[in-house]
Amino acid sequence: MTSARALTASRGMSIGILLADDHALVREALARLLEAEPDLEILALASDGHEAWEFVEALVPSVAILDLSMPGINGIEVARRTVAVGLRTSPFKVPTS
């Protein structure tokens, strides 16, 4: 079975990622870690749920990494909306304190 990473590398594609967390330190640290991977591309960084939803709608990233507890709308609501409208983004919810 071919992994998604091997498949994207062989096709010269990258996996587009949205990171959403209201803590700047967490957001920036995670972005640095992910940027080190050649087949991952950070498309946007969001500091709250409203901004995250705007980026999901506009960019339709492959993956959205969402903090569960953000101002405005939370990561669960962003994930729910993503699924409800049928976007091809895979939401991942990450609890942070």
Name the residue ranges covered by the structural domains of the chain: 15-94
> Could you give the CA distance from residue 48 to residue 73 in angstroms, rounded to a whole number?
7
Burial class (CB in 10 A: 0-12, 13-18, 19+), 27: buried
Cα–Cα nearest to 40, from 9, 77, 84: 9
pLDDT of residue 7: 40
Task: Report domain 15-94's class.
Answer: alpha beta
pLDDT per residue over 10-61, tens digit each? 446 799 999 999 999 999 999 999 999 999 999 999 999 999 999 999 999 9
